[in-house]
Amino acid sequence: MELIFGLLGGLAIFIFGMQSMSEGLQKAAANRMRRILEILTSIPIIGVVVGALVTSIIQSSSATTVMVVGFVNASLMTLKQAISVIMGANIGTTMTAQLISFKLTHFILPIIALGFMINFFSKRKTQKYLGQVIFGFGLLLLGMDIMKDAMVPLREYEGFKNFIISFGQYPLLGVGVGVLMTVAIQSSSATIGILIAMASEGLVPLSSAIPILLGDNIGTCITAMFASIGTNINARRAAMGHVMFNVIGTILVLILLPIFKEFVITISSADISRQIANAHTSFNIFNTVLMLPFINLLVKAVLKIIPGDAELEQGAVVYLDERMINTPSVAISLATKEVVRMARLAQENVQEAMKGFFQKDAEVLKKVYEREEVIDKLEDEITAYLAKVAAHKGMTAESSKRHTGLLHAVNDIERVGDHAENIAQMTENRIEKNLPFSEQALTELQKMNELVVHAFELSIESLENEDFQKAKEVIKMEKQIDQMEKHLRNSHIGRLNGGRCFPHSGVIFLDIISNMERVGDHSHNIAAFVLDELKTVQPPKNETEEPADNS
């Protein structure tokens, strides 16, 4: 019982320390991680580098692969890109094994004490996160030490030693044990930790450890498989690509096992802990180097295993993913993309409603009403998603500021959709009653429509790309829209007084320019949010002008 409790207690401390370390790293590097993921290109080698870098930052290949599945599900990443990132994630996760393989037993308590003091006494969040990382690393080492001590009695059990040694004679048995251990613990790093702890006590030779760590790499794929449940077909393919990558690599290494073992011994010291850590890293680098040139074939194989066409429902959310809520910076990035998508739909509605007005086409208006239902649904979905993100304690000040701004932007965009619907209803009235409009009135409406749609387009682009200059341009354009609305109103009243305008048409004209002016106001609000945010994050040079509050 002492052995079991020692092993389980040590494992619990190890996993808690690893989670604490990972959480601290994610908080400290939150916005960097989001930007790193967003620069991903279609070049596979860049995907590998990004995957390795991100996983090294967050110390969890499972978290990276779950993110990848979420991004593929949101159509932010192609299957080829996803597989390249997963390859890199497998390399990045070996950093944990490298860290714990060093002999730091005498420094465990000082590391824990140092981490606690930095976290407890620091005023700045960045320093607190650093303290959390150091504290978590210390706990991770403490858990390892407890597991090692708990396993000492196993030296006396010949049956256990013979069972472990048999993994070298029957590698597939060792692979199976590695898979089962990782599936049960749900952490490849924890499985490697147990393996290194056992090896340090002379319980596991290298010939037996290698098959187990190969199975460990396959077992970690179960997280991605679980993450793909309920996702679209491309996300399931990404998870399958992860499985195939590790299974194929395992088969190749098993075939070359004696050569691989000698290679690991050659590049390592006599310390078994270092040998296991280097074997883990070498396997993933070897696997990536070998399979990266054939990534297109791997993608084709995945498509054969999971055939079918990916379909996207316009009415449903595209980018929001519940799995990302525990990583607020990524969740907010996804929410931004969904808000931009919602804004594009609202923009289409303004354009289509005015198109219906100018062409007197009632069929166009049906799409406006259908799209308005989608916009309303997206407002509810995005707001609910952002509320869940807000409940997470890991948000940085920058993420919190953007989160608040997105909530306001969603409301502004929904109101733009409402104004488009109002214009559609007025267009229906014009068509049903066949109301006449002078060429001058139509020309004036056309000019205002072009200015308003352009301002809203720029506000969307400023939000999407954090573009300070475009946001500043919207602020200026909104003043032009206000002036145009007043000018058109006075001009129209002059036509009414001169008897050159039909009264019922005049009411619709005034209502349309009023709604268009309000669209300009909401464009201003979105741009003002971007300006305020960027002044906090990236102040422009020589910029002194403050955006006017016109909300």
Tokens of 56: 């090294």
CA–CA distance, 476 with 459 (Å, rounded to integer): 12
CATH number of 384's domain: 1.20.58.220
Of 256, 275, 305, which marks where a domain is finished? 305
Handedness of CA 66, 68, 70, 73 (dihedral sign): negative
Say if residue 110 is in the same domain as residue 236. Answer: yes
Question: Is 90 inside a domain boundary?
Answer: yes
Number of domains comprising the chain:
2
Say if residue 350 is in the same domain as residue 479. Answer: yes
Q: What is the pLDDT of residue 456?
A: 94
Strand stretches in 453-541, DSSP E? none
Judged by DSSP in three states, 542 sits in coil
Say if residue 468 is in the same domain as residue 506. Answer: yes
0.95 cut: is pTM over it? no
Question: Is 548 inside a domain boundary?
Answer: no
Say if residue 298 is in the same domain as residue 351. Answer: no
What phi and psi values does residue 64 have, to the nearest 5 degrees?
-65, -45
Of 305, 330, 348, which marks where a domain is finished? 305
Burial of 199 (0-12, 13-18, 19+ CB in 10 A): buried
The segments of the chain whose pLDDT lies below 50 read 311-315, 535-551
Question: Is 544 inside a domain boundary?
Answer: no
Question: Is 91 inside a domain boundary?
Answer: yes
Say if residue 374 is in the same domain as residue 445. Answer: yes
DSSP code string of 65-115 = HHHHHHHHHTTSS-HHHHHHHHHHHHHHTHHHHHHHTS--GGGHHHHHHHH
CA–CA distance, 140 with 95 (Å, rounded to integer): 13
Structural domain span for residue 295:
2-305
CA–CA distance, 232 with 117 (Å, rounded to integer): 46
Helix (H) / strand (E) containing 231: none
CA–CA distance from 284 to each of 43, 69, 214, 265, 288 (Å)?
Answer: 19, 20, 10, 17, 6
Say if residue 330 is in the same domain as residue 375. Answer: yes
Question: Is 543 inside a domain boundary?
Answer: no
Say if residue 498 is in the same domain as residue 399. Answer: yes
Say if residue 227 is in the same domain as residue 344. Answer: no
CA–CA distance, 97 with 280 (Å, rounded to integer): 8
Say if residue 118 is in the same domain as residue 35. Answer: yes
Of 270, 305, 340, which marks where a domain is finished? 305
At 232, which amino acid appears?
Answer: N
Question: Is 310 inside a domain boundary?
Answer: no
Judged by DSSP in three states, 232 sits in coil
- Contact present, 207 and 261 (Cβ < 8 Å): yes
CA–CA distance, 249 with 83 (Å, rounded to integer): 14
Q: What is the pLDDT of residue 475?
A: 92
Say if residue 498 is in the same domain as residue 461. Answer: yes
- Contact present, 142 and 13 (Cβ < 8 Å): yes
Question: Is 492 inside a domain boundary?
Answer: yes
Q: What is the pLDDT of residue 537?
A: 39
Question: Is 545 inside a domain boundary?
Answer: no
Judged by DSSP in three states, 318 sits in coil
Say if residue 273 is in the same domain as residue 372. Answer: no
Say if residue 202 is in the same domain as residue 158. Answer: yes
Residues 6+ apart with CB under 8 A from 204: 164, 195, 198, 212, 272
CA–CA distance, 486 with 351 (Å, rounded to integer): 22
